[in-house]
Amino acid sequence: MADWIYAVILGLVEGLTEFIPVSSTGHLLLTKTLLGLPDGFWDTFSVMIQLGAILAVVVLYFQRLWDVFLRLPSDPKARWFAASVVIAVIPSVIVGLTLHDFIKTVLFESAGLICVMLILGGIALIAVDRWAPKPKEADSMALSWKRTLGIGLCQCLSIVPGVSRSGATIVGGVLLGIDRRAAAEFSFFMAIPTMVGAFALDFWENKDVLTGDNLGIIAVGFVVSFISGLVVVRTMLDFINRFGLTPYGWWRIAVGVIGLGVLQFAGS
C-alpha cells in the first residue's frame, strides 16, 4: 500500500484509542507490526500524530481551559485546578525521563508483553466496574491533592506498553473514589501536558528522521488523528456513564488474545 494509506490507518488507530482505556500505544505497535512497517520513521510517526489527538481535547475544552487561565490571578479554584494537573503529571515526568531509554529499547520491542498487558488491563477494567468503591468526588476540576497525586502515580504504570495511560488514570481515579465521568475528564486534562512533553522529547531525539519528504505523510496522520480524536472525546464520557468500563475491558481481552494467537502463528 502507499504510505499515505498507512498514515490514515495509524492516524485512525491513534485518534480512536488515545483517550479510551485500551492503550493507544499498544494498538499502534501491534498495528505497525501487522502491517509489516519497519522501525525508525514509523516509530517517530506514531509519536508525532499523538499531538493531533491532544489537539482534539484542547479544541473541545478550549473555553473551559481558557476561562481557567483568565481566572488564575484572582480565583483560588482556578489556581488549584492548574496545580492539581501539575501534581498529577510530575510522577510520570520523573519516571519517563529516568527510564526513557529502557522504555523505548526494551518494553516497546515486546509485542507479546503488549498483548499480555492488554488482557490483564481488560480484566482490571471489568473488576473495577463491578467492585469499585462508591464515588466521593464528582468535579474533575476540584479534586483533592491526595487523589490527584494518586492518579499521577497510577499514570506511571503506563510506561509499560499495553497498560494504557487513560486506563491507568481512569481506573486509579475510580478506585480513589472519583466518579467515572470525572475520572475520565481529568484524564483528558492530564493528557495535554503529558503527551505534549512526550512529543517534544521524541521530536528532539528523532529530528534527523524528519525530512521534507515525509512531512506530508505525518500531516495526513495528524489530521486523521485529530478528527477521530474529536469524535471519541465528544462521545466517550456519555458512553462510560451509560455502559461503564466493561466494554473496553472485553475489547482489550479480545485484542490481546488475538494478538497472542497471531504472534504464535507467525512464530511457528
Reported as a pLDDT band with limits 50, 70 and 90, residue 170 is: very high
What are the residues facing 137 on neighbouring strands?
Answer: 178
**Tens digits of per-residue pLDDT, 108-141?**
667 788 899 999 999 999 999 899 899 999 999 9
**What single DSSP character describes residue 245?**
S
Amino acid at 174: V
Distance, CA of 193 to CA of 148 (rounded, Å): 15
* CB atoms closer than 10 angstroms to residue 122: 27
Could you state, in order of their start, the residue ranges of all structural domains in the chain?
A: 3-267
Tell me what the mean pLDDT of segment 32-57 comes to. Answer: 85
CA quadruple 141, 144, 147, 150: dihedral sign: positive
The more confidently predicted of residues 24 and 198 is: 24
* CB atoms closer than 10 angstroms to residue 224: 23
**Contacting residues for 160 by C-beta, under 8 A, at least 6 apart:** 107, 113, 117
| 50's grid cell | 499523538
Task: Give, in order, the Cα–Cα distances in Å from 122 to each of 2, 125, 128.
Answer: 34, 5, 10
pLDDT at residue 113, as a whole number: 85
The more confidently predicted of residues 75 and 41 is: 75
Tell me what the mean pLDDT of segment 191-220 comes to. Answer: 79
Instruction: Assign 229 to helix, strand or coil.
Output: helix
Distance, CA of 245 to CA of 232 (rounded, Å): 15
What are the residues facing 178 on neighbouring strands?
Answer: 137
Is residue 254 pLDDT above 90, yes or no? yes
| 226's grid cell | 485529530
pTM for the structure as a whole: 0.88
**CA 212 from centroid of its chain's CA atoms:** 28
Distance, CA of 117 to CA of 257 (rounded, Å): 11
**Tens digits of per-residue pLDDT, 171-204?**
999 999 999 999 999 999 998 988 888 778 777 7
Tell me how far apart the terminal alpha carbons of the chain are, to the nearest angstrom.
Answer: 26
